[in-house]
Amino acid sequence: MALSTSSTNSLLPNKSLIQTQPLLPSPKHALPTNSTKPVKFPQPISAVYSPDSSKNPITSDKTPKPSPPAATSSTAAVAVTKTDQVCKKWSVDSWRSKRALQLPEYPNKDDLESVLKTIEDFPPIVFAGEARSLEERLGEAAIGKAFLLQGGDCAESFKEFNAVNIRDTFRILLQMGAVLMFGGQMPVVKVGRMAGQFAKPRSDPFEEKDGVKLPSYRGDNVNGDAFDEKSRIPDPQRMIRAYCQSAATLNLLRAFAKGGYAAMQRINQWNLDFTEHSEQGDRYRELAHRVDEAL
């Protein structure tokens, strides 16, 4: 599961630097038309999910039509009943009762259970406060007050795990975020597809080459990518290594975010350095200077 860098509040632009606008067309920017009919613009979202309604109140410019009391009460009762049922049925292990299409077949079930019990005692990689912070930021993006940027590898690798690769991915997300913030004139929520993105779903459980048929590669936390029988056997011990790599990755990301590496002025200097090696250097330098002036 991909983990976000939402805990790095320093990545998000200061709202006092820019004026946020909803992602809706403005009448003054509408294309000219020969028609005398008034141009209709889409209405803003009237209701979305918010983790804390007191912090992010959402109102509609339209007054909803009243429903018959009987229908309203019965609908509410059904909704409450369904919610209660879901809350009562969910548990940490409730997923085991569901049908799973992408789980690997581990040959040694005892070894699998031993690894799962070991991981259960490990500390969490992401904390509740970080999850709530991201939830609030995503709520702002849902109502057009922020832009969501997500990026990273299709699947992380044990072989390519090093500080340079983590730094470069983090850096390019910051650079993209700065340009998007400048162009969109609104905060950018940056989410990294990293620190836990190891598994790969497969449409076929087996792969065949030159008449040899082996289990498909499902990601480094399940089996190896080398096309041989030993590598393709699912190994639960890989999950422990994936946990450790995820924790180390997120620890480094937090250090980058809070240690000054993510400062806006530094990000713009990276953009200027990029223009020196670009065929369209003048054009990019002009854009970088404009971004710097806006910041």
Q: List Cβ neighbours of 195 (8 Å cut-off, separation of 6 or more).
A: 2, 3, 125, 246, 247, 249, 250, 253
87 assigned ligand-binding residue: no
Rg (CA), the chain: 25
DSSP 253: H
154 assigned ligand-binding residue: yes
**199 bridge partner residues:** 219
How long is the chain? 295
* Cα angle: 151, vertex 152, 153; to 5 degrees: 145
DSSP 194: B
Q: Exposed, middle or buried, 40 (CB in 10 Å: 0-12/13-18/19+)? A: exposed
Annotated binding-site members for Mn(2+) = 154
Annotated binding site: 154, 193
Known binding-site residue numbers for phosphoenolpyruvate = 193
